[in-house]
Structure formats: structure tokens, C-alpha cells
Amino acid sequence: MRVKTGRRSIGVNFDKNGVAEIAIWAPLAHKVSIVLEDGKIDLINENRYWKSITKEIQPGTRYKISIDDLDPLPDPASLSQPEGVHGSSEAINLNVFRWSDSSWKNIPLEKYIIYELHTGTFSPEHNFEGIIKKIPHLLDLGITAIEIMPVGQFPGDRNWGYDGVYPFAVQHSYGGAQALQKLVDECHKNNIAVVLDVIYNHIGPEGNYLAQFAPYFTGKYKTPWGQALNFDDAWCDGVREYFIENVLMWFRDFHIDALRMDAVHAIKDLSPTHIVKEIRQHVDELEKNNGRKYYLITELDLNDPVFINPYNKGGYGADAQWIDEFHHALRVTSGQKPEGYYSDFNGIEHLAKSYNDAYVYDGQYSLHRKKLFGAKTNNPGRQFVVFSQNHDQTGNRMLGERTSQLVSMEMCKLLAAAVIVSPYIPMLFMGEEWAEPHPFLFFISHTDEKLAALVNKGRKEEFSYFNWQGEPPDPRLEKTFTDSMLQWDLLNNVTHKSMFGYYKKLIALRKTLPALANTDRKKTLAEADVETKILKLQRWSDEQRLECFLNFSDKDQPVPLAAAKQYKKIFDSSGSPSDQLIRAESIIIFERR
């Protein structure tokens, strides 16, 4: 079955007359039936997809699917799981929502200022409606795009989202499909783009019934999370179509503007056309058909620009990627111990290299990996997303400490500025704009107690890698979840309110200064002074030239600026009136007169 970009073709869908169309991929089955509360519908095999057109299913109908008369299971392409991952699927019509964003045009990628959030812990409501209520806060801050952690149905009500088992079903406890559509519509009304985090490298363990329908998995490869999805083995065509359909659904039916594709390096695919490239090709077709622009942003641990290179350079055509190496170098520069995956980074020299070259390792020997690693990239700055903290780098600490609990407030300010003044796309993690002290911990609510216990055991073993002592909080406990909630009332506190004002000013600088808004890496030059721990960063455009000095030391030092009379100070994170001195743990920005 060739994927149609204009409408979803798998699972249960409704045509313009409200008639249900069913298509279930089960290439090895001899019989497939839809099981309803008061009967069943036998499907007809059409080229390995089992199909039917019926009026017996209406929006709201609960159903399951039986393969060869075995116990019925939820639909792999279910759009709604109101009874959880083991319960019946619910038929819904994605086309009934009344959109008001017909005039919306996606923001140019270089103008994205991303705010990553977790729906469950972002607001007191723990749902999409709670995010809508905070849109005025995001606008006040200056955010132009939110990035929502995964929303595919997962076990229970508390989860990061990376254990999802129904990629098409919007988490019921968050409000479900229509609530997500409403959130996107409200964001677009306020000129905010929406990025959705999606997982195409694995499926979670609890409620994962895919293998009972078709060869969704292959034994050819292993992943850190279990079975590898089958993108290049026998019967892989249906798997590829499944995930391409998912991508198109988010863009077409939910008006999502960009997808952040989790850990694409863990996608195992030796096909002539890599699945990421095939996804991009279908998105290109969708763009032509509806006139909208969509972005694919990859999380990548390979330092290989093939994922973001255009087709004519042999690339897969993704629009951007995260670069964790900027984060790692930045954190070591600020005093983070060089252990675990930080052990390859020497601090300020590597930070300067990341400003200049994006990748720190672009062909050098990596002691951590014990091999030559990475390749050089000439891709523009708008193709890289940088950050000083995110869900991984916070939540994967044993105690989930945010930056505000690890360094001084002045260093927090410096780290934020280091991201904002870069030639890359900046991303914030929810709450950092007011120095939220609550941790962001790893939490789950699996209903399978044995599986939950194994997850807890695995967490403990993972932290031995960093030589961290003690016990991590139990991810199964509700307290672990509530301890990770943002504390919005802190915005009434003088210290936290002041930090929020600082972030507002930083983002305003990014938007208004041509040299900072520019993502041309050829107009960026960073130099590191290892002895003084001062990084000099030059940013320029046709209209403006800036000299930024980032002092990562604990000492006040003279500003190393030649011919100072030719420059005027336009920003100082310490608030110092002097333009001759750079305070400890601060940044000063000068503009050439």
C-alpha cells in the first residue's frame, strides 16, 4: 500500500460522509476481525492489509482486533486508548475539529526560540489545557516555539513519554486528540510554533502488542531498549508505512510544525533509502499539496551530517539536529566533573570549538568511545539546536538536579547567555527561566509491577557509570512525579522573578540584535583563554559587529578588549557599571561603534 499524504490510510478512519474505513496490516494472518461490544466485523485481505467499509463503527465506538480468532487486542494504529494500553481502542474522527489557523505560516527555523516542556509536570492541571493557560507566560518570555515531550499513549498517567506503545493515540490523561489540536490552534493564534517529540527507534514494553499483528520487529539488531523495529528486514514495508503515516498525521491532522525525532542513531536501517530520508520525501510531498512548511529535527549521537545534509549532497534531508556536545563542553566549562560521557570534554577549549565547528569531535580520537569519531560539517547554524539543560541532561542525573541546584545564580545566567548568543537555535527547558529548584526526575506508572521493578533496578545500575553514590528516587512512586512539578508561585519571589526578567532581556537581545539573530556560522569566531577561563566570541552581520566575553572563572578580570573606545557596552549579566571589568561568572557584550 502506497502511503497517501492527503489522509490517514491505516487503522479506523472516517470519510467525509462519516463512514468508517478500516485497514489493519497483518500480512501473516489468515483471518482478522474487528470485535465490538455487541458483535464483530470480519475483514477482507487486500494485499496484506485487512479492510472493510462500515457504518457499524461511529466516533466513540470501542473496539479491539482479533487475529486468527485469538484473544482480541487494541489497534496498533489506535487514535485513542481511554481504558489504557491494555483496553479497547476508541474510534475518533480527526477531521471534526474546527481549526482557526488557516492564515498561519510556520516560523523560519532560524527564528525558533524553543521551550521544551513535559505536559504532566509543566502545569498544575497536568494536561494540554494547562499549557494553554500558560501561553501568556511564554509570550512574555519571548518564546517562538514550544517542544512537547512525547504524547503517544503510555502505561498509566505518569511517564516521560518514551515508553509509549501507541504512536497514533494521544495520551488520554493529557486530554486526548482534540485537546492537542486545540493546544496547537491556540499556539498558532499567538504566533507560537509547536514541535512534537516522537520516537521511531523503539516501542515501550508494557502494552506492546505489535508483534502479535505483524513482523514489526527484527532480530538483526539490538537497541538499548529491547527489540529493534524492522525497517530493513523481511516484511519491513508495512513498518515503514506505519511510521510514515504517523509523521504525516501529526503534520496534516494536528497541524504540528516540527517533529523532534528521538535518537535517530538507534534506528537500524540499511535500506537503499534510509527511513529518515523516505519520511522527509513524503513530508516534501505533503508540503507541496497543502502549502505549509514542516521541519524534521533529529536527536543524533553520531556527529554525522548525513542526516541533515540535503539530497544533492547524499543526505537524508532533515532540517536540523540537536548537538549534545555543545551542552557537554558548556557544562564541563562551568565546573561539571568530566566523568561518564562528559569525560571526553576539556571545558572551555572544546566549548570554543563547538561555537566554531558545531561538532567538538569531527574526526579526532575519542577516549570515551575509544575510536576516531565524527565528521566535519559545513551546515549553517540554523541546522543545530543547543541548550544548557534539557529533559535528558537533567532527568538522567541520579537526583534530577536542575542547573540552579548545581551552580551559582550568576553561573546560571552565564550558561543561559552562552546558549542565546550562539549562532545556533537556542532551546530552554521548562522552568529554567526562573531558576526552578525542583528536580526533574525519571518517573513511570507501569501497571505491570514486575516490569516496573525491573525499570527501577535498571535505573540504579545506570548511575554506577557516573560513580554517583546513593539511591535514585523510585520512579514508580507518585512522589517522584509530584517532586518534579514546576512551582509557578516562585515567580512572585524576588530572586526568581529577577531571573525571569534576565531571560526576557536575553531573548529580546537575540531577537533585536542583527548579529545575534544571524545563524551564519561563517560570521562567528570563538577564542578560548584556558588560563583566564574567558571565552571571546565574535558575532557579526552586515549591519552589526559584537564582541562577547564570557568569564567562566570565579574572579573579576579586566576586559581583554583592544581599542576599547571603538566599542560600547550593551549588556552585562552582572549589572556592573564598569566597561573595563568583567565580573566572575558573567558575560559582557560590546557593540562596535
Interval 79-127: pLDDT, tens = 999 999 999 999 999 999 999 999 999 999 999 999 999 999 999 999 9
Segment 341-356 shows an average pLDDT of: 96
Q: What is the pLDDT of residues 434-448, one digit of tens each?
A: 999 999 999 999 887
Q: 538: domain CATH number?
A: 2.60.40.1180
Domain with 555, as residue range(s), is: 522-592
* Whether residue 370 is found in the same domain as residue 336: yes
This prediction has a pTM of 0.96
Q: Is 433 helix (H, G, I), strand (E, B) or coil?
A: helix
- In this structure, the answer to whether residues 554 and 472 fall within a common structural domain is no
Shared domain check, 398 and 265: yes
**Shared domain check, 124 and 86:** no
Q: What mean pLDDT comes out for the span 116-140?
A: 98
Q: Is residue 37 part of a domain?
A: yes
pLDDT of residue 166: 98
As for how many domains the chain has, the answer is 3
Please state the three-class secondary structure of 381-404 as a single string. HHHEEECCCCHHHHHCCCCCCCHH
Arithmetic mean of pLDDT, 555-582 = 90
| Pairing between β-strand 545-551 and β-strand 557-558 as defined by DSSP bridges | unpaired
Position 14 pLDDT exceeds 80: yes
**What CATH number is associated with residue 28?**
2.60.40.10
Report angle CA 554, 555, 558 to the nearest 5 degrees: 140
Catalytic residues: 262, 299
Residues 484, 583 within the same domain: no
Share of the chain above pLDDT 70, in %: 96
Whether 473 and 397 map to the same domain: the answer is yes
Q: Is residue 236 part of a domain?
A: no
SS (H, E, C) 276-343: HHHHHHHHHHHHHHHCCCCEEEECCCCCCHHHCCCHHHCCCCCCEEECHHHHHHHHHHCCCCCCHHHC
Question: How confident is the model at residue 583, as a pLDDT?
Answer: 97
Residue 327 in any domain: the answer is yes
The answer to whether position 239 is within a domain reads no
Question: CATH number for the domain including 124?
Answer: 3.20.20.80
Q: Which set of grid coordinates corresponds to residue 410?
A: 550568576
Does 270 reside within a domain? yes
For residue 422, give the DSSP letter.
S
Residues 6+ apart with CB under 8 A from 302: 265, 374
504 and 395 together in one domain = yes
Q: Would 279 be classed as within a structural domain?
A: yes
| The C-alpha cell that represents 509 in the structure block | 537581545
Whether residues 167 and 265 share a domain: the answer is yes
Q: Is 526 found in the same domain as 394?
A: no
CA 446 to centroid of chain Cα atoms: 22
* pLDDT at residue 374 is higher than 60: yes
Do residue 373 and residue 438 come from a single domain? yes
The reply to whether 331 and 447 lie within a common domain is yes
491 and 572 both lie in a single domain: no
In the structure, what pLDDT confidence band is assigned to residue 225 with cuts at 50, 70 and 90?
confident
* Half-sphere exposure of residue 360: CA atoms within 13 angstroms, side-chain side: 22
Domain contains 35: yes
Per-residue pLDDT at 563 exceeds 90: no
The band of 454, judged by pLDDT with boundaries at 50, 70 and 90, is low
589 φ/ψ angles, rounded to the nearest 5 degrees: -120, 130
243 belongs to a structural domain: no
